[in-house]
Every structure is written in C-alpha cells, then in structure tokens.
Structure 1
Amino acid sequence: MKPLFTVLIALVTVTTFAQKDFQGKATYMSKTTMDMSRFGDRFNKMSEAQKKQMAARMKSFLEKTFILTFDKSSSIYKEDEKLAAPTAGGGRGWGSMTGSGVKYKNTKDLVALESIEFFGKKFLISDEMKRPEWELGSETKKIGEYVCYKATLTKDVDPTDWTNMRRRRNNDDNKKKDETKKDTTNVVKISDEIEMPKQITVTAWYTPQIPISNGPGEYWGLPGLILELNSGRTTILCTEIVINPEDKVTIEAPSKGTEVTREEYNQIITKKMEEMREMYRNRRRRN
C-alpha cells in the first residue's frame, strides 16, 4: 500500500490541475554564450579593457528573463518587462533589431503565433504547429522541488537565429580540410566569414509533477512542464513556479501586426541583414 500522505498529495495535485480556471506562471532565466572568434582579428586586437566593455554591452541580450503564463492548453511567453533594460538610445541594443516579441501557443487547437517588432514594424507570425518528435529518456534529476526527466529532439536551425552563427574556419592543412569535408553536410554558409549548423540537438528536462504539455519559447509536447532547455549555445532554466497566482492574466492570441508565415518573415530578415552587410562593406571600403 502507498502511504496515506502520498495518496493525499496525489489527489491534491490532480484536483489542482483539473480546475477549470487553473493557471500557472513560470519564470525562466535564458543565457546564451557567443563564439567571439566570429569577430575575427577585430576582437583579437582589442585590449582586455575593451573586451570587458564589449562583454558588458552584450550581456543585456545574452542574458534575459522570461515569463511563461499558462493554463491547461494555452500559454504566453514573453520577456520580463520589469527586467528588460533599455539602452541609452531608447531601444534594447541588438534586441530591438532582432525583435523580442510575445509567443502564443495553443496545444489543443495547434495554433502558434508570435507578435514581434523588427526595425519599427510589427509582424504577426504564424507557425505550423506539429507535435515535436521527442525521444524520451530514463535519466532524471531534480530542479528545485521537482523530479525531471530527460528528453531530446533534433531540429532544423532557424536561419535567422544569430546565436548559432560561428566564424568559418580556415583550412590551412589537410587535416582541417578533411574535417571540413565531413562537417559540410550539417553546415550552412551565411557569408564568406560566417556559417551555422543545419540541425542541432535540443535537450529538455520536464516534470510530470506539473502535467502541462508546455515549455519556454516554441517548445512543448512532453508529458510535463519543461523546466530546463539546452538548445545550441542557449540554456533556459526555470527559477520560479507559481501555481494559481492571485493576479491571473488573460491568455489570448495576439492580433496586431502584418500577418506573415515564418518562412516569409525569415525572408524579410535575411534581406535586411544582407542590406546591412552591404552597407558595412561599403563603409569599410570608404575608410
């Protein structure tokens, strides 16, 4: 027989998540590391003081806090506005260029929308929402009070995701050439200097103690809330969970912005980035 205390906890848990007006709030810390070699000789020639200044400026968009507000089937994921530090120019550095929007998911109706602003223009991006093909593992670990299970997923890299970009390696000897040949099947050339992988492996840690098939960003599809996620150079970790908070939020799909598909939006981003690279090249030629 199970101890009576354990049975009571299970009953309370089932009752909590079965409530019609159930809602939860999860806080996530996101941290991204950057391949500084992508800056080439410019970075190597910097003094230690200049490198520290650069790291301080980059911290605002490499380390962020997000809030996931969720019910049994829908959610909103967005940056914590209280902690989002604006830059001296009134924007948020590179974040204002690449956008930091609101992601909406409805796992019951398979609706995924993202409201985002890019260079002053608002877009409403619709994503095709297919159930992710997670591979469930038996490995476990505790995150706070929750027992979490490991799951992995292989996914195509978003071509506009700068966090996975890296400096192309020079093939100075035969060994490097051989290594490059082996790796070209999973590499996309962005420019003469920059490349990125075609696919990456995502590792998630989810807890069945919160039986909600949801998680940070676009991730979902596991038998429990995702509390930790490792994707490329980015790690996202849940630092706080509040079940049925006193101040509840209305979870509704965003509706403002020019409606585009993810593919159309990526084409817009790619074109703008190419224009900026060309402007930068012209500026260097003049100097």
Structure 2
Amino acid sequence: MLKHLYLTIIISLLACYGFAQQISGSAFYTSMYKEDEPKFDEEEMEDPLTQALAEQLKKGFLDEYELQFNQEESIFKKIPKLEKPDPNKGGISISMSLMGENEILYKNIKENKLINEKELYGKPFLIQDTIEIRDWKLSKESKTIGEYVCFKATYLPPSLSGDKDNEENSSTHSETKEEEIIAWYTPQIPVKNGPKNYGGLPGLILEVQEGKLIFLCTKIVLSPKEPMGIIKPSKGKKVSQKEFDAILEKKNEEMRENFKTRKRRE
C-alpha cells in the first residue's frame, strides 16, 4: 500500500514537471496609457493637427498585443487595428502607440537575449540587447484575474529608489514611489515571462503597471500538447541598443535642422 502511495506521488510530480517543461501558448493584453490633460492656447487649437493631437492625448493610448511563448522563448507584438475616420476632424487623425505595427520583441530566457525588430524611417533594424534582471520583491497579496490566482510583486528601479536613510533623498523617494513597477503573476502558468520586456517572476505576468502605463491580460490560450514554435526575428541591420539610440538621435537632429532651414526660407 505504501509503495503504491509513493508511486502515485512520483507520477504526479513527473506529470507536473512535464507540464512545466512543455507549456506554451498565447496571452493577449490590452495596454492603457493616459497623459495629463494637454494644454494648448487658443491660437494653437485653431490648427486641426493640434486638435487631433490634443484629442489623442486626452484619450490616451489603448492598444492590444499578443505574447506567444514557450518555456524558453517568446515574441511580443502589437495586434493591428483599423480605425474609422472621424468626419468632424476633416480627415486628420493621430495615432499613438508604444510599439510599431510591424515591430516584434523577441526574448530568449535561457540565453538572456532580447531582440527588437523594428523600422526607423523605413529601414529595418535588429536591436540586440540583454534581458533586464529586476530584483522583484514578492508579496503574499493576491487577487484573481480571470480564472487565475495572481500574486503581487514590486520593483523600484535603483535610479528612482533614493536612499531611505538619507533625509535629503527622502522627498525624492516619495515622489518616485508612483514609478514603482507593480506586477501580478500566476504560478498556475510557470513561465518566467510577461508583456513587453517584463518577466523574471515564478509565473506568467498577467498585469503590470509602471507609472501611467498598464498592461492587462484579457485572454490566455494554452497549447500543452503541441509546444508553440517561436520564430526568431531576422530582418534588419544588427545593432546594439546604444547604437540604435545614437542613430535615432542623429535622424531626429537632421529633421530638426531641416525644419529650421524651411522656416528660414519662409
């Protein structure tokens, strides 16, 4: 009888281990980002472009994303959407997003690699980086998201944390408290992953908040029988994040100079 009990326990443990090894699927997220009320003077608001910008800032960003994952890899991308033009805006509309329509964020947890496939002024780039290691503080606080029990984890970036023992930094610490990253993860899906570049927790992150930005999981589709194959991005010039930032700054500076030149000629 005791042997049968031991055998049952071993089989159960092996089954759980096997599930953790092969678990894969897709998680769908909605992102929300809302800025403070935009302030433009009356003269600026006469411009239809400024009106469209003010309207978009007032509404905030609202996009949908898909995270395709297995135990070691994932890709995160925006789900394209079509918006109907508003006849009251004279055909002018502005769309703001955290990611481009064709942008792909690839993570390899095992190799600690992060690859961002994106375009800059029509030219494709493969931005190579490492996955940020965050010192998450785990909490016993829990809540339910959909059918999953989630636990709270928090992280305060070192550049924002300040020195609690230093009175001079105490005000800085309190001011940046709102920038603390709050994540809710579920151990029911034992994958150290999440939306965008978030991860590193003992379960899939279903909700994360960083300042005014929130990602919330709305749907999960697991594929335990047939592990999902993740296709690594391969289009574009390989550059580091630092190199890409320098290219972006140079392009922006060129645009500013061109704008100044046109203004002088007018």
Which of residues 194, 202, 207 in structure 2 aligns to 1:228? Answer: 207
Q: Which residue of 2 aligns with 1:238?
A: 217
User: Is the CA contact (8 Å cut-off) linking 1:227 and 1:238 kept in structure 2?
Assistant: yes
Cα deviation, 1:144-202, whole Å, max 9, x if unaligned, reads: 11111111123379xxxxxxxxxxxxxxxxxxxxxxxx76x9x9xxxxxxxxx8x9421
Stretches of structure 1 lacking an aligned partner (at least 5 in a row): 1-6, 158-181, 188-196
Contact 2:20 / 2:190 at 8 angstroms: preserved in 1?
no
1:77/1:216 contact within 8 Å kept: yes
1:201 aligns with 2:180: yes
Q: Which of 136, 139, 161 lines up with 2:138 in the alignment?
A: 136
Q: Which amino acid aligns with 1:142?
A: T
**Contact 2:27/2:217 (8 A) holds in 1:** yes
Letter of the structure 1 residue corresponding to residue 213 of structure 2: T
User: How far off is 1:251 after superposition?
Assistant: 0.1
Show CA shifts across 1:3-52 (max 9, x none).
xxxx9xx87982672464x3211000011112344xx53489638x9987
Counterpart-to-counterpart distance in 1, 2:70 and 2:219? 16
Give the aligned residue type for 1:141: K
1:255 and 2:234 correspond: yes
2:78 equivalent in structure 1: 79
Figure out how many residues of one structure are paired with residues of the other and give that number. 237
Which of 168, 193, 218 does residue 214 from structure 1 map onto? 193
CA 1:285–1:230: 2 relative to 1, 3 Å: farther
- Where does 1:1-287 land on structure 2 (aligned, <5 Å)? 14=16, 17-18=19-20, 20=22, 22-37=23-38, 40-42=39-41, 46=45, 53-54=52-53, 57=56, 62-81=61-80, 83=81, 93=95, 99-100=100-101, 101-155=103-157, 200-244=179-223, 249-280=228-259
Instruction: Give the Cα separation in 1 of the matches to 2:257 and 2:60.
Output: 24
Describe the shift of the 1:232–1:66 C-alpha distance in structure 2 as closer, same or farther (beyond 3 A).
Answer: same
* Aligned residues of 1:111 and 1:127 also touching (Cα < 8 A): yes
**Structure 1 residues 45 and 130: CA distance shift in structure 2, 3 A:** closer
Q: Secondary structure, in 3 states, of the residue corresponding to 2:198?
A: coil
Instruction: State the 1:277 CA deviation.
Output: 3.9
Structure 1 distance, partners of 2:228, 2:60, is 26
Q: Counterpart of 1:107 in structure 2: which amino acid?
A: I
Q: Distance in 1 between matches of 2:83 and 2:224?
A: 26
Q: Distance in 2 between matches of 1:16 and 1:44?
A: 65
> Are the counterparts in 2 of residues 17 and 72 from structure 1 also a CA contact under 8 Å?
no
Instruction: Provide the aligned C-alpha RMSD in A.
Output: 4.2
Q: Percent identity?
A: 37
Counterpart Cα distance in 2 of 1:102 and 1:109: 18
